[in-house]
């Protein structure tokens, strides 16, 4: 699976936290891999789970940083899709040394074009640009 495809799967798993309690996410992770429409290898599954876990470890810090940088917006006001993409992008910019900031932003913009609303990509780009 390509890095972009892996990132998309992380996004889809991370998106579930918007609709499930933290306590239910262990079960949701299992369901995610059981119900996936994509054949995910054990290696890729481990990568997705690990990245999801690392994002969740920093979720409060990430959300606080988003609230600080996104002038006029809070995480509560953002669409759930945009917020999830921004969380993933911020994690990659601040905590993932394997992903250059420009790549994190470009990949987030592509996810926003695919899963967000018409102008989501420009909003995601504007917020993430404040982190570099």
> For the whole model, what pTM was predicted?
0.93
Rounded Cα distance, 60 and 113, in Å = 26
Provide the domain count of the chain: 1
Sequential DSSP letters for 44-73: HHHHHHHHHHHHHHTHHHHHHHHHHHSTT-
- CATH number of the domain residue 19 falls in: 1.10.940.10
82-120 confidence digits (pLDDT tens): 999 999 999 999 999 999 999 999 999 999 999 999 999
What percentage of residues in the chain have a pLDDT greater than 70?
A: 99
Judge contact between 114 and 77, C-beta under 8 A. Answer: no
Segment 55-63 shows an average pLDDT of 96
Say what the pLDDT of residue 35 is: 77
Q: pLDDT tens for residues 27-51? A: 888 888 887 677 888 899 999 999 9
Residue range(s) defining the domain that contains residue 110: 3-129
Ranges 3-7, 33-37, 61-65: which has the least confidence: 33-37
């Amino acid at each position: 699976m390509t890095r972009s495809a892996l990132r998309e799967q992380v996004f889809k798993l991370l998106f579930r936290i918007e609709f499930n309690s933290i306590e239910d996410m262990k079960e949701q992770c299992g369901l995610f891999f059981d119900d996936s429409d994509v054949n995910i290898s054990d290696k890729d599954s481990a990568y997705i789970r690990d990245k999801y876990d690392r994002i969740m470890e920093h979720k409060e810090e990430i959300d606080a940083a988003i609230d600080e940088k996104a002038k006029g917006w809070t995480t509560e006001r953002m669409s759930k899709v945009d917020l999830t993409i921004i969380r993933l992008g911020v994690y990659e910019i601040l905590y993932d040394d394997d992903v250059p900031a420009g790549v994190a932003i470009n990949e987030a913009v592509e996810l926003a074009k695919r899963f967000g609303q018409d102008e989501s990509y420009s909003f995601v780009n504007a917020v993430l640009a404040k982190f570099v």
